[in-house]
Amino acid sequence: MTSEIVLRETICTLAASLFDRGLTGGSTGNISARTQDGGLLVSPTGTSFGRLDPARLSRFDASGTLTDGDPPTKEMPLHSAFYETRSTAGAVVHLHSCHSVAWSMMPDADEDNFLPPLTPYAIMKLGKVKLLPFFMPGDPAMGEAVRGLAGKRTAVMLANHGPVVAGKDVEAACNAIEELEDTARLAMMMRGINARMLTAEQVSGLVERFDVEWDD
């Protein structure tokens, strides 16, 4: 198990990497991870991914009580919903990444399967991504929408807002959300072009070969 000191450093290092590459800007985005004792470390409200302080991360105990650090992100309902409905969730990341937000605005974006089958990697890392409607930032209804999925999705896209991804640990969650953004970028690049996508048979093969969660 990763020590809490190492986990704090890892959260801040990966968040800074996302910020430095323009995947979320200003004070947008939030990130959290499970601790060894069942608690949570969460990025504080109003902070920048580029300047997170490991010592000031919001610290919750296993009962959900804030015990240390600065006040947490206002998007806690999102994070809590994933942890409560997905027993495998060890970390949750939410970004305001440009291309995924742009793709969420397209009138033909599929609500049940947000990302088109352009490459195998988004399928392998994310399964089907659910496109949720627009909510006011911080609205607890976002968490209720995630709970309504009953743990069947590892990732959702908040329309006109940004993606949210749960992973087994911080690295897995960050890798997966980067794959989501890359695929949305490809989708925008291919928009209006008769692109050769993966076939239904190829998608089914990936789902079976890599044991992907893929509810029909």
Q: Could you tell me the CATH superfamily of domain 4-209?
A: Class II aldolase/adducin N-terminal domain (3.40.225.10)
Domain boundaries along the sequence of the chain? 4-209
CB atoms within 10 A of CB 69: 19
Please tell me the distance from the alpha carbon of residue 131 to that of residue 111, in angstroms, as a whole number: 5
First to last CA, the chain: 35
Please tell me the distance from the alpha carbon of residue 100 to that of residue 115, in angstroms, as a whole number: 9
pLDDT of residue 215: 77
Give the type of residue at 179: E
pLDDT of residue 2: 72
φ, ψ for residue 33 (rounded to 5)?
-155, 150
Q: Which of 84, 121, 171, 213 is catalytic?
A: 121
User: Distance of CA 65 to CAs 36, 45, 69, 76, 145, Å?
Assistant: 16, 16, 12, 12, 23
pLDDT of residue 216: 62
Give the type of residue at 111: E
Angle, helix 4-20 to helix 170-190, in steps of 10 degrees: 20
Whether residue 121 lies in the annotated active site = yes
Q: Which of 75, 178, 179, 181 is catalytic?
A: 75
Whether residue 75 lies in the annotated active site = yes
* pLDDT < 70 regions, the chain: 1, 216
CB atoms within 10 A of CB 121: 16
